[in-house]
Amino acid sequence: MFLIRWGAPGAEHTGVMLDGVRKDCSAHFSDWSPAFFRGDGMTRLRALLASATVLPDVPPYARWAACIPRPGKVVCIGLNYSDHAAEVGAKIPNEPIVFLKGTNTVVGPYDDVLIPRNSVKTDWEVELGIVIGSDARYLDSVADSASHIAGFCIVHDVSEREFQTERGGQWTKGKSCDTFAPTGPWIATPDEIPDVNSLALELDVNGVRRQAGSTASMIFDPYVLVHYLSQFMTLEAGDLIATGTPPGVGMAMKPPVFLAPGDVVSLRIAHLGEQRQTFRPA
């Protein structure tokens, strides 16, 4: 299944992708919320799609909303690709590097992204996202992680590098500016993905390829991450995990290159669709 949300900000509706067409589920489900996941909503959605129920098309020009509503947590992993760690001259971490991103950063995959006031180092990062489908706390094994994952999506982990690394050494303020996490266009359930550990990721800036990588280069794969994080915090249904970025970020270029108003960034991950954002001044 491919779960989507659509509609104006603050008035989003549920839907699914069927044969490349957006279908409206709002008569049956109010949102892909924690209550939906905890209330066996995925089973009910599968039953709906298997029935003879005819779902109306989403209006063709309707906005693509973030594929999840505002999550309880956005948990991010730093330096999780061996080739990205190499490009920035960082040591391969022994354990996942964990930080949080403000939950109000989550916006639609085609929404504008706002360059913060006084920013000169706004950067791009294409990432695989994990959507948690059921609460996970102190999981016994990595194998237990699969039953707690609702699906996967694209996350654009936009970052302001000066705020992140030069303003007190704390990453959160460089990661949590408004609109800094375009998410979607859809949640793909795990059965839709042949191998989550072998997905191609790409990102272009103004039509020029900047990032090209594969989740095969992850140091800690999605299942390891869910198990690991559950040892420190309860991962709740509807939470979002951004799993790190492959090489090609702007700060690692020589000389570094950062985003300016009017720049257009497009990104894609195999089986998870694509995003496109125009960057505007806040």
Q: Domain locations in the chain?
A: 2-50, 74-281
| Phi, psi angles (nearest 5°) of residue 142 | -60, -35
Q: How far is CA 144 from CA 31, 147, 163, in A?
A: 26, 6, 37
Q: What is the model's pLDDT at position 169?
A: 67
pLDDT of 55 = 98
Taking the C-alpha atoms of residue 219 and residue 213, their distance in angstroms, rounded to an integer, is: 13
Q: Give the predicted TM-score (pTM) of the model.
A: 0.97
User: In the structure encoding, which two tokens stand for residue 194, read together?
Assistant: 């042949």
| Residue the block writes with tokens 């800690």 | 220
Residue pointed to by tokens 């999605």:
222
Q: Architecture of domain 74-281 in CATH?
A: Alpha-Beta Complex (3.90)
Q: In the chain, which residues have pLDDT < 70?
A: 169
**Strand order through the sheet with 208-214:** 113-115, 273-281, 264-269, 200-205, 208-214
pLDDT in tens, 106-115: 999 999 999 9
Read off the tokens for 198: 């072998």
Q: Give the Cα separation of 254 and 250 in Å (integer).
A: 9
